[in-house]
Structure 1
Amino acid sequence: MDHEKVNILLVDDQPAKLLAYEVILKDLGQNLVIASSGREALEVLLKTEIAVILVDVCMPELDGFELAAMIREHPRFQKTAMIFISAIQVSDIDRLRGYEMGAVDYVPVPVVPEVLRAKVKVFAELYRKTRELERLNQDLEDRVRARTAELENSTAKLRESEERRSMAIAAGKMGSWDWDWITGDWMWDEGQYRIFGVGPESFEVNPANVQALLHPDDVDQLRKAIAEFNKGTRSYETEFRIVRPDGDVRWCVGTAAATVDDSGRVMRVSGVTVDITERKRAEERQTLLAREVDHRAKNALALAQSIVRLTRADEVKAYVSAVEGRINALARVHTILSLSSWQGAELSKLIDEELAPYSLGGQIKLAGSEVQLLPATAQTLALALHELFTNSAKYGALSTRTGRLAIGWQVEDELLTLTWEETGGPLVMTPKSRGFGTRSLLASVESQLGGQARFDWRAEGLLCRLEVPLVRKTAATTAPGNFEAASSAELQRASG
């Protein structure tokens, strides 16, 4: 699924510009679909699943704004990503109009190929992941429906055969019962007692006691079932919750069938109860997982967009290198966190991942015990370490074979202290101003994690000391899902 190609629609009335977009985007390895007018674009959309639409604002007959409005009116395309390309100076009002029409981004002309590719790639990947999640959800729904059908079939057979009821009891998830409609006597089997969490020696089966075990919000289900049988209904099925004496809440599906005399009067009602708690919990877990995946994808995209938007460089090549380095650092720590189901990451693994691109022999010395970091702390430190390694490889100890780097860390009273010490490299001079990397490092460590970052630009090499609390006590850190958004805000302040 990860390598499945998606369709990217390119809309422009000028063939030369369409050809240029094809050349720029061909390296993405996706299917590029061409439309030379808004009308042609609408025809393509009705026939093809499109992940991203790249559309020129200024076109004859139907301009980009009008096309976007028509696309958004169709329910199928209300979430399709649209990127506007404008060869004219776009005012804030024009941008606002574009966003109201459904644009997700603007690209000015002349187009910077690397920027365009980066933007399109992000939305193509988001589309692919969204479709994959939809397929997983559909698969789960199919399996739940299949399981439900099996349970319905099983309960039908249980009503017809005492032998099959006994088999259900042995399975441990079902119980059967019988209610004499005339005398009011009840009979529960072992499975029924087990589901309700009571024992025959201490629990008297009667309507009042049974109702006391029902969840207050589901009591009406019992009353409704009785009313339906009094009206002549022969069978009834419903889902309901019970609250066991120990407080445990269980989900059940109950199926009942009435036995009538020759005059049609109800004589007896028999039924089967199935404990479906695990299925319900599985559905809840899947729903939470889907929300978490969507949340993390959006937050990761927000942080990546901030990195792209705020990185500064004198030339395109340097810009691309800086952006790719920071996004790759974020991707590496995400991989580590994914392997731990987002429970945390070892500090030594973060350092090893940053060391991987370098072949430095014995230039680097590490010293420190295993330290488990929370996800938010791990992400921030990963980006901070990336900035330190990048700066050292360009200007510091790692830029020469004679340079040496010592990284040590220790934990005392829930405070992580990491020391970065460079020696043997080029002569170091205190910089006149801080670059984006240094400023973002300071902002993320100090503002995001509540720690401190100190730099000592010694002549023999940089000495940096990071102090990071491992347990945050502020309200902001109780919601790790907000990390990326908060980091984005810190990066914006760092770029000022």
Structure 2
Amino acid sequence: MDQEKVNILLVDDQPAKLLAYEVILKDLGENLVIASSGREALEVLLKTEIAVILVDVCMPELDGFELAAMIREHPRFQKTAMIFISAIQVSDIDRLRGYEMGAVDYVPVPVVPEVLRAKIKVFAELYRKTRELERLNHELEDRVRARTAELEASTAKLRESEQRRSMAIAAGKMGSWDWDWISGDWMWDEGQYRIFGVSPENFEVNPANVQALLHPDDVDQLRKAIAEFNKGTRAYETEFRIMRPDGEVRWCVGTAAATTDESGRVVRVSGVTVDITERKRAEERQNLLAREVDHRAKNALALAQSIVRLTRADEVKAYVNAVEGRINALARVHTILSLSSWQGAELSRLIDEELAPYSLGDQIKLAGPEVQLLPATAQTLALALHELFTNSAKYGALSTRSGRLAIDWQVDEELLTLSWEESGGPLVKTPKSRGFGTRSLLASIESQLGGQAQFDWRAEGLLCRLEVPLTSKTATAAPGKFDTAGSAELQRASG
């Protein structure tokens, strides 16, 4: 099935440049919307859903910075991706100003068609995926509302049968009672005793004992009901909690109806109690699930957006491959966590998933106990392992058939220590600077997880050690003999 097209707004006061942008972006297959001024762009935004805005910095009347500020002030467009195009040399201050206004990137003139298409494509896809997640979230909310409506309809049906004592007993979670308003005598059926967790043999039904079983915060409901009947009310319904003698708290809904004498005086009150604890718990689980889905969707989008923004490459193809690789790694660990209902992921499973794209035979040796990782730890460690495997396959031991890789790990006092040892590959030289891969690996392991990522650039192969706390408590590893300098593309040279 063809994917839905998204709208891309092109803003420039020069028709020739707008035409050039149309030609460059035509192959993307998206809807291109034209605006020749900032004011025209604002009119388009108010009428059309826009995925990405490509705007010229230098325009008469309303320049790109001013337009961006006005767009960001509107709640609908606070997260809309904006890319600035500038024909003049942009200073660092101007760049910072642009980013503060909400720009996600700059494109200098002359525009490189491939670069512009790649950038627009990434943000168009991100917008499309975001909308898909929002649609799924709305569907979930609709299902929750439908389920709630079903529960309310079910409750209504139960109310219709509350006055039938035989059906209350058969239902098991319903009970009926009768209160002589004049003498103060109570009568409970078997279902009522069952709901309150007491038995006729050891429980005397009287106002004091009944009140003692009510939740302290709901005692006023009983007093309010008595007051309402004294005022002439003939029927009353409320939800309340009871505290059974064993300490368990149960949710109930109670319906009561008054019987009066010829003078209108209340002489008897009868009612039905329904145990709705499971319904309450189901509603809580549904609400929790809706919040959890929203939270995870936002986290996944934030990680994907960080990968897109921070990835660097000299060529468009390399940039796309790097982004796809990192997002695929994130998707694989997301699948593992989903299968465990987001309870966690096994370290060996993460490693197996990263090994899957390679046919390496006996080149890799794994050793270590079963280790269950928290979801946040699993996501971060999966991305770190992806960087190590990718660079080893390009430049290290896994780039040749003679290369070998040994991965072993152990756990000591809630601290996971993972050793990555390469040998038999190209000769290694200590890199002169850190690239994005190493910087992101160090940042994720050290800043996010409170661990350490350490490198030893031996000539016979890279030796890397990752120390990661297995709990949320930050752990500080002791310094070792490793050198923490590194490079994203592990730069090696043959001797």
The two structures share one fold, judged by TM-score above 0.5:
yes
The structure that is helix-richer by fraction is: 1
Q: Does the CA-based 8 Å contact 1:419-1:463 persist in structure 2?
A: yes
Q: Does the CA-based 8 Å contact 1:410-1:418 persist in structure 2?
A: yes
Q: 2:301 aligns to what? A: 301
- Equivalenced residues, count: 495
What is the distance in 1 between the residues matched to 2:76 and 2:479?
33
Per-residue deviation, 1:59: 6.3
Q: 1:176 aligns to what? A: 176
Structure 2 vs 1, CA of residues 385 and 96 (structure 1 numbering), >3 Å: closer, same or farther?
closer
Structure 2 vs 1, CA of residues 445 and 11 (structure 1 numbering), >3 Å: closer, same or farther?
same
Q: Does the CA-based 8 Å contact 1:421-1:464 persist in structure 2?
A: yes
Structure 2 vs 1, CA of residues 443 and 37 (structure 1 numbering), >3 Å: closer, same or farther?
closer
Q: Does the CA-based 8 Å contact 1:159-1:271 persist in structure 2?
A: no
What is the distance in 2 between the residues matched to 1:53 and 1:264?
73
Q: What's the secondary structure of 2:20's corresponding residue?
A: helix
Residue range with higher mean Cα deviation, 337-346 or 79-88:
79-88
Q: What's the secondary structure of 2:457's corresponding residue?
A: strand
Per-residue deviation, 1:389: 1.7
Per-residue deviation, 1:458: 2.6
Residue range with higher mean Cα deviation, 450-459 or 30-39:
30-39
Cα-to-partner distance string for 1:329-374 (whole Å, 9 max, x where unaligned) = 2332222222222222222222222222223343333333433222
Q: Does the CA-based 8 Å contact 1:392-1:398 persist in structure 2?
A: yes
Q: Which runs of 5+ in 2 are unaligned?
A: none
Cα-to-partner distance string for 1:3-61 (whole Å, 9 max, x where unaligned) = 66666655666666666666776777766666666777677666666666666666677
What is the distance in 2 between the residues matched to 1:451 and 1:489?
19
Q: Does the CA-based 8 Å contact 2:391-2:490 persist in structure 1?
A: no
Between the two proteins, what is the percent identity of the paired residues?
93
What is the distance in 2 between the residues matched to 1:90 and 1:303?
28
Q: 1:482 aligns to what? A: 481
Structure 2 vs 1, CA of residues 151 and 456 (structure 1 numbering), >3 Å: closer, same or farther?
closer
Q: 1:126 aligns to what? A: 126
Residue range with higher mean Cα deviation, 342-351 or 19-28:
19-28
Per-residue deviation, 1:375: 2.3
Per-residue deviation, 1:461: 2.1
Structure 2 vs 1, CA of residues 7 and 144 (structure 1 numbering), >3 Å: closer, same or farther?
same
What is the distance in 1 between the residues matched to 2:78 and 2:114?
27
What is the distance in 2 between the residues matched to 1:433 and 1:197?
70
What is the distance in 2 between the residues matched to 1:217 and 1:486?
61
Q: 2:3 aligns to what? A: 3
Q: Does the CA-based 8 Å contact 1:9-1:50 persist in structure 2?
A: yes
What is the distance in 2 between the residues matched to 1:448 and 1:159?
53
Per-residue deviation, 1:95: 8.1
Per-residue deviation, 1:201: 2.4
Q: Does the CA-based 8 Å contact 2:455-2:482 persist in structure 1?
A: no
- Report the TM-score when normalising by structure 1: 0.76
Per-residue deviation, 1:79: 6.8
Q: Does the CA-based 8 Å contact 1:436-1:494 persist in structure 2?
A: no
Per-residue deviation, 1:397: 1.8
RMSD between aligned alpha carbons? 6.1
Residue range with higher mean Cα deviation, 65-74 or 364-373:
65-74
Q: What's the secondary structure of 2:481's corresponding residue?
A: helix
Q: Does the CA-based 8 Å contact 1:11-1:37 persist in structure 2?
A: yes
What is the distance in 2 between the residues matched to 1:210 and 1:300?
51
Residue range with higher mean Cα deviation, 381-390 or 262-271:
262-271
Residue range with higher mean Cα deviation, 264-273 or 62-71:
62-71
Q: What's the secondary structure of 2:163's corresponding residue?
A: helix
Per-residue deviation, 1:388: 1.7
Structure 2 vs 1, CA of residues 172 and 133 (structure 1 numbering), >3 Å: closer, same or farther?
farther
Q: Does the CA-based 8 Å contact 2:454-2:484 persist in structure 1?
A: no
Q: Does the CA-based 8 Å contact 1:11-1:36 persist in structure 2?
A: yes
Structure 2 vs 1, CA of residues 396 and 298 (structure 1 numbering), >3 Å: closer, same or farther?
same
What is the distance in 1 between the residues matched to 2:181 and 2:481?
58
Q: What's the secondary structure of 1:226's corresponding residue?
A: helix
Residue range with higher mean Cα deviation, 103-112 or 248-257:
103-112
Structure 2 vs 1, CA of residues 229 and 482 (structure 1 numbering), >3 Å: closer, same or farther?
farther
Per-residue deviation, 1:70: 7.6
Structure 2 vs 1, CA of residues 466 and 102 (structure 1 numbering), >3 Å: closer, same or farther?
closer
Residues 237-316 of structure 1 correspond to what in structure 2 (within 5 A)?
Answer: 237-316=237-316
Q: Does the CA-based 8 Å contact 2:6-2:124 persist in structure 1?
A: yes
Q: Does the CA-based 8 Å contact 2:395-2:490 persist in structure 1?
A: no
Q: Which runs of 5+ in 1 are unaligned?
A: none
Q: What's the secondary structure of 2:486's corresponding residue?
A: helix
Q: What's the secondary structure of 1:274's corresponding residue?
A: strand
Structure 2 vs 1, CA of residues 88 and 275 (structure 1 numbering), >3 Å: closer, same or farther?
farther
Q: Does the CA-based 8 Å contact 2:54-2:82 persist in structure 1?
A: yes
Cα-to-partner distance string for 1:174-219 (whole Å, 9 max, x where unaligned) = 2222223333332222222222222222333333333333333333
Q: Does the CA-based 8 Å contact 1:380-1:444 persist in structure 2?
A: yes
Per-residue deviation, 1:127: 6.2
Cα-to-partner distance string for 1:56-93 (whole Å, 9 max, x where unaligned) = 66667777778778877877777766666666777899
Q: Does the CA-based 8 Å contact 2:439-2:488 persist in structure 1?
A: no
Residue range with higher mean Cα deviation, 385-394 or 207-216:
207-216
Residue range with higher mean Cα deviation, 192-201 or 96-105:
96-105
Cα-to-partner distance string for 1:78-135 (whole Å, 9 max, x where unaligned) = 7766666666777899889888988777777666777777776777677667766766
What is the distance in 2 between the residues matched to 1:148 and 1:378?
35
Q: Does the CA-based 8 Å contact 1:180-1:268 persist in structure 2?
A: yes
Q: Does the CA-based 8 Å contact 2:8-2:50 persist in structure 1?
A: yes
Structure 2 vs 1, CA of residues 83 and 311 (structure 1 numbering), >3 Å: closer, same or farther?
closer
Structure 2 vs 1, CA of residues 138 and 222 (structure 1 numbering), >3 Å: closer, same or farther?
farther
Per-residue deviation, 1:265: 3.3
What is the distance in 1 between the residues matched to 2:46 and 2:343?
43
Residue range with higher mean Cα deviation, 255-264 or 144-153:
144-153
Q: Does the CA-based 8 Å contact 1:303-1:488 persist in structure 2?
A: no
What is the distance in 1 between the residues matched to 2:141 and 2:328?
35
What is the distance in 2 between the residues matched to 1:231 and 1:203?
31
What is the distance in 2 between the residues matched to 1:55 and 1:484?
45
- Report the TM-score when normalising by structure 2: 0.76
Structure 2 vs 1, CA of residues 64 and 359 (structure 1 numbering), >3 Å: closer, same or farther?
same
Q: Does the CA-based 8 Å contact 1:159-1:270 persist in structure 2?
A: no
Per-residue deviation, 1:221: 2.5
Q: What's the secondary structure of 1:489's corresponding residue?
A: coil
Structure 2 vs 1, CA of residues 422 and 129 (structure 1 numbering), >3 Å: closer, same or farther?
closer
